Amino acid sequence: MIKKTLLVLLTSFSFVISATAATVYTAGAVSTATGGSGRGVIEPVDSILLNPAIVSQMNSKFFSVNYSKDQWGITIADNGREALFPAALAFVRNESALLSTQQLALILAHNFGHFFSVGLNVSLVEYDQLITGQSKKFQQTIGQVAIAYMPTQNFGFGIVTNRAFSSETELAPPLQVQKTFGAGLNYTYLSFIRFRFDIESAPENKTNKLVYMGGIETYMNDWIIIRLGYQNNNVVQKNYVTGGLGFAGPQFGLHYGYMQNVAERSEDKHSIDLAIPF
């Protein structure tokens, strides 16, 4: 039971894309390499951080570590045979010059039939704001609700509501985790190439500005994966090209993702994931 609960918490790390953010948040290297997509994909490395319902579509236990220049995180997920229920636990820390955020997330999921699942993510978020050289901390509890529909191995779909509920905090609203909703799908052609496409609303669930994310994964052999992607982010008025390489071995996986702002190279982001099934 304790083990299950820990797993759930780890998986619930849906983070902040603030209207004032300088860069775009991504869950991990696989998501980074495919334009930020992953809400409709059974990808244990980081999709469960984007859609908590995905954890119930897995069939094993999983541990992963993600690292990039300003962000790192740890995730544990469990939906193996001995699991009482699908669950995950995650810890993610994001750092910037004026605001650092750390999130401890607990996720629970449940299957309705073999293909349809719902997920709940409850997270404790701590904000550390630097004002005139002094640090001021704020805390907030937020919730994420999602569904996933995976009728075949070649097709999947997911819908996510970020910050479906939250507690009050004194931190300025633009700096808090934002209310958004998103959707994602994937389609695999002939077990050779997988297409991924996601869309997310602007803060406060507004649809006047949307974030479009897409990518492809080519399976050169059973272990090596090449990834390419693109993101059109109308919220922050920026476009990104992405790419990466993955090794998915039987004992562990190692994934690299790269994201580049088309107009500003200083925002280049490199991300690395180590993933271990157990």
Q: Per-residue pLDDT for the chain (278 aa), expressed as one digit of tens each? A: 434 433 333 333 333 333 333 345 568 999 999 999 999 999 888 899 899 999 999 888 999 999 998 899 999 999 877 778 899 999 999 988 889 999 999 999 999 988 999 999 999 999 999 887 788 999 999 999 999 999 998 999 999 999 999 999 999 998 999 999 999 999 999 888 999 999 999 999 999 999 999 999 998 788 899 999 999 999 999 999 999 999 988 889 999 999 999 988 778 899 999 999 88
How confident is the model at residue 22, as a pLDDT?
35
CATH code of the domain covering residue 160: 2.40.160.40
Structure tokens at 178: 């934002």
Give, as one character, the DSSP assignment of residue 169. -
> Please, are residues 147 and 158 in contact by the beta-carbon 8 Å criterion?
yes
Single pTM value for the model: 0.86
Task: Give how many domains the chain has, as a whole number.
Answer: 1
How confident is the model at residue 102, as a pLDDT?
94
Q: Residue 183 and residue 88: Cα distance in Å, rounded?
A: 21
Residue 245 bridge partners (DSSP): 226, 256
Domain that holds residue 160: 2-277
How confident is the model at residue 12, as a pLDDT?
36
Sign of CA dihedral 66, 72, 73, 74: positive
